[in-house]
Structure 1
Amino acid sequence: MVDHDHAPDCDCGTTEASRRGFMAGCGATLALALAGEGIGTATATQDGPQPIGPLLNDMPDNWGRFGDDDELGAINFLGGQEIVAGMETVTNYDPESAARFTLQDPITGTGIDALVSDAENPTTDTGDPMFPGRFPARRTNWADASDETGSLATAPADGGMAFADDAFAAPLYIQGATHADALGHGWYDGQLYNGFDAATTHTPREFEQGVEGITGLNALSGDSEVGSVETTHGLGRGDISQAADAGVVGRGILLDVGRHMGTEGPDGTWLPLDPTGTNEDAAITLADLRATADAQGTEIRERDIVLIRTGAIERTKDSDAEWHALGEPGLTYSDALVEWAHDMQIPYMGADNLAVEQITQQVTAEDVGEGRANLTGTYLLPLHGAFLRDLGLTLNEVMDLSGLAEQCAEDGIYEFMFSGAPLHVEMATGGPINPVVVKATAESGMDEDSAATETETETEAETETATTTDADTTVETGAEQDAETGETEATTASGDGFGIAAAAAGIAGVAGAAARALRDGSTD
């Protein structure tokens, strides 16, 4: 672990606010910040967000674990064994049962009214779930069969092939739809993942030939104009090309928290909105993830790709539903959650909401370890700091998990092979991605030979474990790095056991109540 260069400790007092409530006005604070206003101005009359540095100072990180120059982060954990583990989620079943699911939310160009007009949240208008400050991308044809645009032909003579072609007529925000965050996308205390200087986020690139485009583009309105683009700026470290080159393949699992703990939506499978900070059921804790896994009978293993469904994407598609960009449900911070993600070597995490986590969160004494009660208070996106910046854990946002979730609920199989690579855009802060999941769709279709092989393997593993214990030998899991060479030694990876065969069919009816009791009666 590398020591972080954090800002001085803040004077953060313990609050008496709801355990997972919003601080009034913080949603507006973030909206103003994203629009170019300073957070200090927006919070002048309230107890504003706390600095993230002191909260995460004693938390684990992966800096230097894969080498001092590493920019890929936890995706390094996905090696050959992890790829095979993903394949086995399909091949251990009848091949005829395999089905594929794509997880991208379509780019339609339609904007949610509350983000592009004077409409107020909540809104019943549907559209692309872009984040405040990112407006919908609209494409149009510049060649087709019409008289208006003409067509492209291979030769002047009649009879050659003609083509339609198109281009985006409005800015395409790389993080405006289903996308993976680059590790350099977020930082605090002046450092990116692996200790790189935040100044590298403004690395210039010069081009010999200019291209007509938008110049002066930034978060402030009214500054952009059309001109010749000859210089651009982007991430000099930790850009999305790292994940694009590597690709992401492994065993994925769906934790359908919305289905097991939801209270809203047509089928009661959505977690509620929380724009005012009055409903803690919108917050997803580590205990909730574990309870969901138990209810599903899903084993969470080391180096799993973890997808979390809240019901958020379905809400944006329902014209009768209320929606609030800054009030979506999601993960919330705890020391235990960060330590769990580190210990389990989670390489990649995705969700169906805008940010994976809730935008604004209250961190309470229940969420932090002993002696850290002075760090309670309101925080903005603390898990982005813990995951992206400290652990190098890539986040996939705005995923459409609805079809996959329905199939998982139907057959009880929540494991699958996950495969995806973000669009390779050099120096970009993220990349559009359309992940492909390959999943067995009938548990009864498990191949008998494969099942027998699994049983034999489990027996052999138990024997080896007993022998190892007798010899007083410790088998470490994960990836251990030689500090001098930077090389990674692959070792045995095994799950921590929770969720294995934890729920039979008869438990399904009471799973939600049991999970709720776990939340209300224990901490993370």
Structure 2
Amino acid sequence: MSTQVKSISEVLKDAPKNWGRWGAEDELGAVNFLDQLQVLRGVASVQSGKVFTLGCPIARKEGDPVWPGRSQPGHHMTQDHGTYCCGKLQPLGAGLQYADDVIYMAVQGTTQFDALGHVWYDDAVYNGFSANTTIDGMEKCSIMPIAEHGVVGRGVLLDVARYKGKKHLDKGEQITLEDLLNTAKAQGVTIQKRDIILIRTGWISVFYNQGATIFYEGDFNEPGITYTPELVQWFYDMEIPAFGTDTIANEQTVSSVTGTALPLHGALLRNLGVSFNEIDWLEDLADDCEKDGQYTFLYAAAPLKIVQGTGAPVNPIVIK
């Protein structure tokens, strides 16, 4: 006899919230935790000066990893040398010519941050603002507060795939809180309050190494963390301001615990105001961390300032 899947509201009815913690008008959420002391804590992690950028390429001819149903980025030249050769444009001044181009894409169609108002239930987004504020542009909890503040602090890589002895986790594989803590222990790193967590599953490498057909085949179900009371309470108690993964949605697509889609977008993004940094490229960083044993670093990211945006592209920088 089948059991009816509970609504996300029922699943999260006892989950903690940060609503009102920083005032009734707050739209920044847990990024409020990233004050000057947290920036300095991140700076103190820098040892070698090695730099890693986590953004994925945009508008490759082979295609980019995007959420199913979102269109691929379109990149087009508006003018180039051919425009001058055919006489449609004349050089500037003393023979100066230039190329220009445009790109059309979903604001969440590459490495990006979600706005806190991006996902909701019970007609309310983060901090209790009405879901009506999302109509025709995010009047509340857009990407702008996060973009203007920046996300800068001490970052920690949790290389769960390597801890489990895999190149990448399996489709739909759950990462538990115990997995996260055991990965940290195996790496010899202590997760501290207000750390920015990066979780490597290896999943995005499937897209680049095996192609889109393999990546998207069958029911789309990425590996990752998912809702459990213990995991959400840990995020709350540890005051985690933001986390990133090498997956499109930062969590197990269909929760093997609740049976619902993307419950952490409700529990963490909507309820706790935790910022989601999705579609990170973590392979190079992970390889280097495995070599030198350093899994902490300065993490710095500033999504584009898209007015009333539901999210924005970003190219996070890690400095070890």
Q: How does 1:22-101 map to 2 (within 5 A)?
A: 47=4, 49-90=5-46, 93=47, 97-101=48-52
Deviations 1:57-115 (A, max 9, x none): 1111100000100000000000011000000001xx3xxx211000000012446xxxx
Q: 2:109 aligns to what SS in structure 1?
A: coil
TM-score, length-scaled by structure 1:
0.58
Structure-2 residue corresponding to 1:106: 57
Q: 1:234 aligns to what SS in structure 2?
A: coil
1:285 maps onto 2:179 in alignment: no
Are the aligned partners of 1:151 and 1:163 in contact in 2 as well (CA < 8 Å)?
no
The residue identity in structure 1 corresponding to 2:117 is: G
Q: Tell me how far apart the structure 1 counterparts of residues 259 and 142 of structure 2 sit (CA, whole Å).
A: 29
Alpha-carbon offset, residue 136 of structure 1? 0.8
Structure-2 residue corresponding to 1:181: 114
Are the aligned partners of 2:174 and 2:256 in contact in 1 as well (CA < 8 Å)?
no
Alpha-carbon offset, residue 148 of structure 1? 5.4
1:132 maps onto 2:68 in alignment: yes
Q: How does 1:193-208 map to 2 (within 5 A)?
A: 193-202=126-135
Structure-2 residue corresponding to 1:380: 261
Q: 2:259 aligns to what SS in structure 1?
A: strand
Q: Tell me how far apart the structure 2 counterparts of residues 138 and 413 of structure 1 sit (CA, whole Å).
A: 38
Structure-2 residue corresponding to 1:333: 227
Q: Tell me how far apart the structure 1 counterparts of residues 146 and 96 of structure 2 sit (CA, whole Å).
A: 37
Alpha-carbon offset, residue 149 of structure 1? 8.5
Deviations 1:336-361 (A, max 9, x none): 00000000000001000011101111
Alpha-carbon offset, residue 323 of structure 1? 1.7
Are the aligned partners of 1:152 and 1:163 in contact in 2 as well (CA < 8 Å)?
no
Match of 2:252 among 358, 362, 371: 358
The residue identity in structure 2 corresponding to 1:135 is: S
Rate the CA distance shift 1:161–1:187 in 2: closer, same or farther, 3 A: same
Q: 1:185 aligns to what SS in structure 2?
A: coil
The residue identity in structure 1 corresponding to 2:187 is: Q
Q: Tell me how far apart the structure 1 counterparts of residues 22 and 153 of structure 2 sit (CA, whole Å).
A: 19
Structure-2 residue corresponding to 1:121: none
Q: 2:167 aligns to what SS in structure 1?
A: coil
Count of residue pairs brought into register by the alignment? 315
The residue identity in structure 2 corresponding to 1:104 is: G
Alpha-carbon offset, residue 162 of structure 1? 1.2
Match of 1:323 among 203, 215, 218: 215
The residue identity in structure 1 corresponding to 2:69 is: G
Q: How does 1:383-402 map to 2 (within 5 A)?
A: 383-402=264-283
Q: Tell me how far apart the structure 2 counterparts of residues 151 and 186 of structure 1 sit (CA, whole Å).
A: 46
Q: 1:410 aligns to what SS in structure 2?
A: helix
Deviations 1:119-152 (A, max 9, x none): xxxxxxxx31111111111211111111358557
Deviations 1:244-263 (A, max 9, x none): 0000110000000011114x
Deviations 1:207-256 (A, max 9, x none): xxxxxxxxxxxxxxxxxxxxxxxxxx210100001100000110000000
Are the aligned partners of 1:296 and 1:414 in contact in 2 as well (CA < 8 Å)?
yes
Match of 2:195 among 282, 286, 304: 304
Q: Tell me how far apart the structure 1 counterparts of residues 43 and 228 of structure 2 sit (CA, whole Å).
A: 33
Q: Tell me how far apart the structure 1 counterparts of residues 87 and 51 of structure 2 sit (CA, whole Å).
A: 37
TM-score, length-scaled by structure 2:
0.94
Structure-1 residue corresponding to 2:168: 270
Alpha-carbon offset, residue 328 of structure 1? 1.6
The residue identity in structure 2 corresponding to 1:322 is: I
The residue identity in structure 2 corresponding to 1:108 is: A
Match of 2:92 among 147, 154, 157: 154
The residue identity in structure 2 corresponding to 1:432 is: P
Rate the CA distance shift 1:199–1:417 in 2: closer, same or farther, 3 A: same
Q: 2:44 aligns to what SS in structure 1?
A: helix
The residue identity in structure 2 corresponding to 1:53 is: S
Q: Tell me how far apart the structure 2 counterparts of residues 183 and 200 of structure 1 sit (CA, whole Å).
A: 12
The residue identity in structure 2 corresponding to 1:142 is: T
1:253 maps onto 2:253 in alignment: no
Structure-1 residue corresponding to 2:185: 294
Rate the CA distance shift 1:260–1:149 in 2: closer, same or farther, 3 A: farther
The residue identity in structure 2 corresponding to 1:89 is: S
Alpha-carbon offset, residue 51 of structure 1? 1.0
In the alignment, structure 2 segments of 5+ residues that lack a partner are: none
Structure-1 residue corresponding to 2:295: 414
Q: 1:406 aligns to what SS in structure 2?
A: helix
In the alignment, structure 1 segments of 5+ residues that lack a partner are: 1-12, 16-46, 112-126, 203-232, 263-267, 275-281, 364-376, 440-524
Structure-2 residue corresponding to 1:405: 286
Q: 1:404 aligns to what SS in structure 2?
A: helix
